[in-house]
Structure formats: C-alpha cells, structure tokens
Chain A
C-alpha cells in the first residue's frame, strides 16, 4: 500500500509538472466549455421552442401591393412574433439580409401576380446553420398571411404542450455543457493509459520497475487512481466554470454521476489500453486514439444532432461509446431522462469491457518488458 501511495504521489507530481499534459487535462476542457457554451448555449430555456422571441426580417413589396395587404403582412408578422423592416428595392433587401442591418435575419419579397402571391425568401449564405429554421418560419408566415388575407380563422387550433421529464428546468446551455463534460471525461480517459504506460515503457521506466519489489498491479492501480483524481478535479473545475460563467446549475444525482464517471473513465482507459496494445508505439497509439476521439466527438450527438443525419451516419453514432457516455452524463446531471434499465445496462457493459481491456493491457505490457 505504501509503495502504491509513493507511486501515486510521483504520478501526481509528474502530472503537475508536465505543462503539456496539464493543458490537455485542465485548460483544454475549460476552453471547450467556454467556446461552445458562449457560441451555442445562449440563455434560452426549453421555452424557446415556442418561437416567441421576436425575429427581425426585411420585406420588399412590389408596386401592386396595396395598403390592405401591407396591413395583413403586419398582422401576420405580429401573430408570428416577427418584426418586419420595410425596404424599397430588391437590392436593399439583399443587402439588408447579407449585412444583417438592424438585426435582420432573413428577407422576403412579395409580388401580387393577379391574385397569386409570389413569395421569395432571401437567406444569408453565411448563416447556413439556421437555414432550416428560417425556411420553416417563412413557410409558417406565408400560411398565416394567406389566412389573414382571407379573413379566415383557423378551424382547428393546435395547443402545444412542452414536457419536461427532469426535476428542474433544462436550459440549452446546460444541455450542451453536460455533453462537453462527457467529451472531457472520454478524452481524458482514452489518453490516460497511453500517456503513462506508453511513454514509461518507451523510456524503459517499466523495465526498471520490474526489478523492484513492486507488483505490476500496484503500478497500474496507482496510475488509474492518478488519472481518476486529475480527471475529477477537472470535472469539478468545469462545473464551477459552468456555474460562474453560464449560471448553469446541474441537478446532480451523485450516485448516478459517480457510477457514470467511473464506468466511463474505466471504459475509455480500457479502449486507450487496447490502442496501446494494437500499436505498441505510444505515438502511433496516441494518433489512433486522436482519430477515434475526433470521430466520436463529432458523431456522438453532442455538437450536431444525430437525428438529422442519414441512417448510416446515425448507426455510426450509435456504435460509438461517447454517445452513451453523453446520454448517461446528461441523465446523471439532470439534463435528460433515461430508462434506469438502460442506464444500468450501459454502465455494466462499460465496466465489463474495462474489466477485460485494462488488465489485458497491463499484463501484456509487463510481460513484454520482462522479455
């Protein structure tokens, strides 16, 4: 035990002294959190789906549009929560949309061709990520305008109910940041054993340790504890940042979070260990793990919705472990609901994979060094 504690102390000191490693474990996740929180989080809560926030758009009306139509446009806009900005030429319309003058987000031109309204929507190519949303707003606006013009009131009304299955209201930022925490856990887990075991092996440190009374399992245990400690400190700092910068207060279920944290870290360490076994050379293992992590980061549904992708890309997302880490983390931080049976099953699978992969890696590496 004393031996293991000594190694653990050495591991921790070495981690603190290594600025590169410190960056990847501490600064990188925080930067990730700040950038994605500021860029995509916003302050919207679930109520945003009502589309009640006012959206400014530019509108150009051709000469034959009369005052009554103009007033119908204003009425339809009000109903839709839109704020029109009247422009007097098509070039002004294009410019307003392109430059975003007065907060204009898209544009509409309206022409009356003998009773048939020709509507043209103008979208800024630079805001391609919002195109689908604006297209849907324009479609709804045109429907509303046609009804207003006919003086027709809806026969069937639609009442929307927004359900939340979490104990506390979930915000966009909280939802995204819980995904960022999942990414951070996954990345630090997958690199953990590659960094220590791979490089210690390369520097013949493991070879030297073998001739001491220390057991391989003690070394492995100290390394794992070191990584778990560093990673949990990172997670706490990330959460504090999330709280300070974005006022996100996670509704943490500590038992579920602890289970998710340990199982995810073990799984990722195991996967990192498998990369090390597969490639032997730590740099090659690190590169392979980097490729794998990059693919996971983008296809795990944290930054881009998997559902909008084709089936084959969705399937890819569902075989990547980070997808499930993100699900479990969101659940344990009170950001989404999941079935308990699903939660326990995924965690059990994570532990099972880790229970095979980590000892296999440790034994193989020590065996290789004994030869």
Chain B
C-alpha cells in the first residue's frame, strides 16, 4: 500500500509543472547563469574609452606619456580591442560632457607646465630635492560610482606608476627588482567555478524540494482533509507521511542526477561530489531540507501561508548561506544570520569535502549545526503537528 501511495504521490508531483520547473529545471538555469557570470568575469574583454587633453605642447615628458598611451591603445591583432581607446576631443568641456554621458570612462589631462616641471625634475633632481608643487602632474578624472570608470582610473594610475619606475631606471637610479606570484589559501585543488556552483545549486535544489514541495504539500493534505480521509481507510497515517517523505527524496535524487549529468556534459565538473564526506553532506542536506518541509507543514495552516513562510525563510537562507557568493566577509549586520544559517555549514562543508576550499569554520560545526537544526525542527513539528484542521474539519 505504501508503494502505491508513494507511486501516486510521485506521479502527481511529476504532473505538476511547477514542481518540474522549480525542482528539476530551475537549478539547471541558475547553475548555467552563475557559472557563465563568475567564470567569465575576468575582465579580459575590457576596453576603456579615454579622452586625453594635452595642454603641455611638445616636450620630453609629454612625448614619453604619449608613447605609453600609444602602446596601451594599440593591439597586435587589429580585430582585438585595445585596453584603452583614445577618443578625440576638442577641449576639456567636451571631454566632461562625454564623461557625463558615459561615452568615455576616464579623462587624462596633461597640464600646461607638465614638460617644464618634467625637465626640472629630470635635470635637477640629483642636485636638489624637488617640492611636490613643482613636480609634473597628470590629472585623471573618473566617475567612481561607475564600475568601468573607476577601473579605468585605477588601471591608469598603475600604468603611470610603472612609467615612474621606468623613468627612474633611465635616470640611473637603482630600483630593486621584484617578482610577484600568488597563492590561494584554503583551497586544496585547482579551483573550478563549475564544481563550486554544483555544490551550491545542488543544495538549493534539495531545499527547494523541502520548502516548496514537501512543506506546501503537507499543508495542502491537511487543509483539504486528505489526512482525515485516510484516517477512515485501513492505511496508517504514518504510511502517508513516509510515502510523502520518500517521494520528495526521489525528487531530490532526480534533481541531483539531472544537474550532475548536465554539469558533467556541458561544464566538465569533477567527480568530487562522490567523495565519501561529500555524500555525507548530501545526505544531511536532504534530511535537513525534509525537516524544514515537515516543520512548514506543521506550522502553516494553509498552502498559501506555507508558500509565504517557505519563501520568507528560504530566500535569505539561500542568499546568505554562501550558495552563490562568499558570505564570511559580509557586513556584521548580516553576519549573525550567516552563522545561524544551517545552509552556510552545508555549503562550506560540501565544498571543503570536494577539495574546493577549506571552510573557515570549526570542522565539527559543519555537521553539528545542521544536525542540531534537524533535531529542533523535528521536535517542534512532532509537538505541534495536527492531522486535521482543514476545510473539511
């Protein structure tokens, strides 16, 4: 009988387009979007538009600067965009209008006394120190609220800092050389955004099942008197509950398999999700999400109410649980939520177990907090759950 119940619940769930969309299809869409955004946000196609206003006339200083600008505004391959494209302007006013209207990202101005001051510095700096007021200055104007403009200004400052070093070398000033390399900390294998988001979206899919399917369905059963009707049949109510849990577990497995096949085929994720510890986190995620479902089904009186409560809980939990972006460096105003949120521990634990990055949390908490949440939710649910209380009372 339980098998039949389970089958009918599963089939009825699969007939629901909403279920198919939110549990099976939506995770694929979100996974694709996230991987596309984060793995492509490299800035490789960056092309800043710059206006150069030169009041300085001819001179050594401005020649060097123009040479640098020429280098950064040309590419070997004519089909590629250079880092900076220089836009011709007649005067500063026109440049400001272009900056205001977002036609350019940055204005570089070489003042009238630039060459004069440059020569002074180059020829007399060894004799006497030059005051800051008399140094050749380049003015870089940007709009910091606009990402591209701010970036254009920052990169320009770095380029001009390099120009300084180069000039020093030519003046036979000994500048020590330095090499810079980088190392990632808290990451135990080559980082891969597809694996990172696989873990996050997988948990999201599981919790969607718990919150949006299990919780709402349980409320619906009670509201419509289905639980009560079952009471008149030889079927035990507990069998209905276990069939509901089992059918939701199958939805989770389906969500997992579909997402994994998709991610493997199109994004070549690793098999790290099958490491024993990762599987343990998958199991805990499934149990916790079902507990949330049972909790919702117990506290909500109507399916609409359950849906509202599910969204109120699930929405901040997924965004502030580290499923999509790192959360441990968020502002203190939300950090408390990050630390009480069980999804934080599941996502961090899953990624640690997959060898993607170490969790900045004590190891035992990765299991303890979600298990504690499960226990508390189930205890509350057992205490307040009612079989009746619906429209057919």
Contact = CB atoms under 8 A, between A and B. Distances in A.
Nearest to A291: B29
B168 A305 contact: no
Interface in A114-172: 115-130, 132, 135-136, 138-140, 142-143, 145-147, 149-150, 152-165, 170, 172
B145 to A, nearest CB: 5
A119 B160 contact: no
B137 A158 contact: yes
Given A143-B161, A146-B165, A336-B146, A157 B136 contact: yes
Interface stretch (B5-13, B258-266, B307-315, B368-376): B307-315
A120 B308 contact: no
A286 B318 CA distance: 22
Contacts of A287: 17-18, 21, 25
Interface string B301-342: 010110110011001100110000111111101100000000
Interface stretch (B170-178, B285-293, B382-390): B170-178
B167 interface: yes
B136 A123 contact: no
A67 B106 CA distance: 41
A106 B153 CA distance: 23
A165 B99 CA distance: 9
B182 A135 contact: yes
B369 to A, nearest CB: 18
B128 interface: no
Contacts of B304: 18-20
B334 A38 contact: yes
A72 to B, nearest CB: 10
Measured as residues with beta carbon below 8 angstroms from the partner, the interface class of chain A is 35 or more
A31 B148 CA distance: 28
Contacts of B36: 313
Nearest to B166: A155
B18 A283 contact: yes
B45 A158 contact: no
B44 interface: yes
Query: DSSP majority for the A interface?
Result: helix
Interface in B134-149: 135-148
Contacts of A98: 185-186, 358, 360
Nearest to B308: A23
A310 interface: yes
B173 to A, nearest CB: 5
A238 to B, nearest CB: 15
A286 B119 CA distance: 69
Contact of A39 (B100, B180, B320): B320
Contacts of A204: none
Given A23-B307, A150-B176, A157-B135, A304 B37 contact: yes
B33 A295 contact: yes
A98 B326 CA distance: 13
A42 B141 contact: no
Given A48-B144, A290-B21, A116 B177 contact: yes
Contacts of B125: 155
Nearest to A95: B185
A267 interface: no
A314 B43 CA distance: 11
Given A39-B330, A125-B184, A138-B180, A155 B145 contact: no
B179 interface: yes
A131 to B, nearest CB: 9
Given A117-B177, A150-B173, A287-B17, A163 B142 contact: yes
A98 B361 CA distance: 10
Contacts of A132: 43
B4 interface: no
A100 interface: yes
A150 B182 contact: no
Nearest to A284: B17
B143 A156 contact: no
Nearest to A132: B43
Contact of A308 (B18, B42, B358): B42
Given A46-B144, A156-B118, A338-B102, A100 B328 contact: yes
A223 to B, nearest CB: 21
A136 B302 CA distance: 53
B275 interface: no
B139 A100 contact: no
Please provide the 8 A-B residue pairs with the shortest distance between their CB atoms, ordered closest to farther.
A125-B187, A49-B144, A117-B178, A305-B147, A125-B357, A161-B141, A307-B148, A98-B186
Given A19-B304, A98-B185, 7 more contacts: A23-B312, A97-B186, A123-B183, A149-B175, A160-B153, A304-B41, A307-B148
Interface of A: 18-20, 22-24, 27-28, 31-32, 35, 38-39, 41-42, 46-49, 94, 97-100, 107, 115-130, 132, 135-136, 138-140, 142-143, 145-147, 149-150, 152-165, 170, 172, 175, 281, 283-284, 287, 290-291, 294-295, 298-299, 304-305, 307-311, 313-314, 335-339
20 contacts: A19-B308, A35-B315, A39-B330, A49-B144, A98-B358, A118-B178, A121-B181, A126-B329, A132-B43, A139-B158, A143-B158, A149-B175, A152-B173, A156-B164, A163-B96, A165-B143, A299-B37, A305-B148, A308-B46, A313-B37
